[in-house]
Structure 1
Amino acid sequence: MTILGTLLKNKRAGEAHLAWNLPALAGPEVLGLNSSDFEHEGVIPKAHAGKRAGGENRSPALAWSGTPEGTAQLLLVVQDIDSPTRIPFVHCVALLEPDLVALSTGALNAGSLVQGVRVLRSGMGRGYLGPEPIKGHGPHRYVFQLFALPTAITSAEGDAPLDTAKPRAVLVTAIGPALARGRLDGLYTR
């Protein structure tokens, strides 16, 4: 795998297609998003990495502040901007009730039943997928993005059910601009 990572070293999705850059999700950057498990631009602990990377595939604890009045729903999206793909790989999409201010470790995992949290499909399967970058590809940046939406997302593109829709089909139905948004970047390499 190290050879593949070396061959793909310069192939990276980049920030252009992040949920952060979708016009409907633009808005003031006033949500304070943080984690007790890692600092902004810090290394994501191995426990939160995927199983193939030796981790436990548990979503990190997250907390936020500054949710504005009038927020109908919070949208959380986690993407890898360094994946060797055309667009950033989606590691998690979740819809959250606007009165929530934190998520405990593992709250975004598939099968987790946390009140006020609706975990949707990610790039592969359902729920949080921990970092599993290709060996030798170098550091990957995982972008945790939280959006305060003025209108709740109730169905995906083409009225597809949210639980089975691909992440992009969910994101394009957001009606914006966002009332507020926050971002937390974490790094992982192997």
Structure 2
Amino acid sequence: MQISSPAFSDKGKIPVKYVMPGAGGKNISPPLKWESIPEGTLSLVLVCVDIHPVARNWIHWVIINIPPTVKEFKEGASMKEISPPAKELINSFGFKGWGGPQPPPGTGDHPYVFKLFALKVSEIKLTEKPSYKDLLRALKPHVLAEAEYTGYFGR
């Protein structure tokens, strides 16, 4: 299973338009595509997490219950084109949908890891604002495969 973005390369720099206004951007969710979903997948979960030590697993985006027939999210899809049964949860900023990078100045480039999980269940139940640890714990017994793609941003 692979995940990618036509907007930036794996381990590349995330373009400014995808970051929060406080960091100079427009907070537009980036385009993402995935392929080679394993047979038996009943749903997908997408999470974007900043794993930098300063950020302590800050969640930027969580989408659960994505049907396996969905193969991509277009640029700006967050809170516009993502429809049930897929559900966007509350990020670490405190609102639903995509919350772009906004690392503290002077902390270097932060890694924003987009993780895609293929699950053997059609629905996962989580609180509206799960911690990264709670999310991983809830997914673990159901994961068939996972893939990741990392973008960097610093200021």
TM-score under structure 1 normalisation? 0.73
Q: 1:139 to 1:72 in 2, by over 3 A?
A: same
Q: Deviations over 1:67-98 (max 9, x none)?
A: 1121111010100011514x311111102111
The residue that corresponds to 2:130 in the other structure is 166
SS of 2:115 mapped into structure 1? strand
Q: Is the 8 A contact 2:41 2:120 kept in 1?
A: yes
Q: Once the 2 structures are TM-superposed, how far is the Cα of residue 119 of structure 1 from its aligned partner? A: 0.9
Counterpart pick for 2:39 among 63, 69, 72:
69
Amino acid at match of 1:187: Y
1:112 to 2:80 alignment: yes
- Cα gap change, 1:127/1:83 in structure 2, threshold over 3 Å: closer, same or farther? farther
Counterpart residue number, 1:89: 58
> Residues 35 and 75 (structure 1 numbering): CA distance in 2 closer, same or farther, change over 3 Å?
same
2:119 is matched with: 149
Q: Pairwise CA RMSD of aligned residues?
A: 1.7
128, 135, 139: which one pairs with 2:109?
Answer: 139
1:115 CA displacement: 3.2
1:49 equivalent in structure 2: 19
Distance 1:144 1:128, change over 3 A: same
Higher radius of gyration, 1 or 2: 1
Query: What is the rounded CA distance, in whole Å, between the counterparts of 1:137 and 1:148 in structure 2?
Result: 33
How far apart are residue 146 of structure 1 and its match?
A: 0.2
Give identity over the alignment, percent. 31
3-state SS of paired residue (2:68): coil
Structure 2: which amino acid aligns with 1:119?
Answer: E
- Aligned partners of 1:94 and 1:118 also within 8 Å: yes
What secondary structure sits across from 1:174 in the alignment?
Answer: helix
Letter in 2 for 1:54: G
Contact 2:92–2:129 under 8 Å retained in 1: no
Local SS of the residue matching 1:172: helix
When normalised by structure 2's length, the TM-score is 0.89
8 A contact 2:4–2:149 mirrored in 1: yes
Structure with more strand by fraction: 2
Structure 1 41/181 Cα, relative in aligned 2: closer, same or farther at 3 Å? same
Q: Measure, in 2, the Cα distance between the counterparts of 1:126 and 1:171.
A: 19
Which position in structure 1 is the counterpart of 2:92? 123
Partner of 1:23: none
Q: Distance in 2 between matches of 1:72 and 1:167?
A: 23
SS of the aligned residue for 2:8 comes to coil
Describe the shift of the 1:40–1:73 C-alpha distance in structure 2 as closer, same or farther (beyond 3 A): same
In the alignment, does 2:151 pair up with 1:183? Answer: no
**Separation in 1 of the partners of 2:9 and 2:140?**
30
Structure 2: gaps (5+ residues): none
